[in-house]
Amino acid sequence: MKVTDSNIVASVLDLLANLDETLRQIRDQGPSSLGAVGAEVVDAIEGTAKRLETALANLGETFETEIAGLSARVSETTARVVELNDSATALMRGLTQRVEILENARLNTQDAIRTLEDDVTTLRLALDAQHEE
């Protein structure tokens, strides 16, 4: 069984409930059965139990506050991740468009170079034909 904070708190609360029941039974027997020292011990135990119960309640509130704070931070972080993802997606779209533009420009340049090469070849052939005449 995995020990968690809530398991510990629940176990301590169970112990306090058992202690309360035991102290109630002792008190029900009457002051004469306890004696002066016994009554002081029971009072001290009850006081310690009440302080422990208060401390546990405060601990539970602290846990709830911490969990709420962590939950808010997770939500903020998630929102930031979504923003960053959206930005990255937009950036990738822009980069993809630029790559496509550059690729088209490269292909157009290659076509222009081929056309120029063809024109140069045609001019050479025309010049060669003129010289032969």
pLDDT tens string 20-44: 777 777 777 765 666 666 777 777 7
> Considering the entire predicted model, what is its pTM?
0.49
Question: What tens digit of pLDDT does each residue of 57-110 get?
Answer: 787 788 888 888 999 999 999 999 999 999 999 999 999 999 999 999 999 999
The type of residue at 46 is: E
Crossing angle of helices 31-132/5-28, nearest 10°?
170
Query: Judging by beta carbons within 10 Å of its beta carbon (0-12, 13-18, 19+), is residue 120 exposed, middle or buried?
Result: exposed
Q: How many independent structural domains does the chain possess?
A: 1
Specify the amino acid at residue 36. A
How far apart CA 57 and CA 36 sit, in angstroms, is 32
pLDDT at 65: 85
Q: Where are the alpha helices (DSSP H) in the chain?
A: 5-28, 31-132
Domain housing 66: 5-132
pLDDT at 2: 52
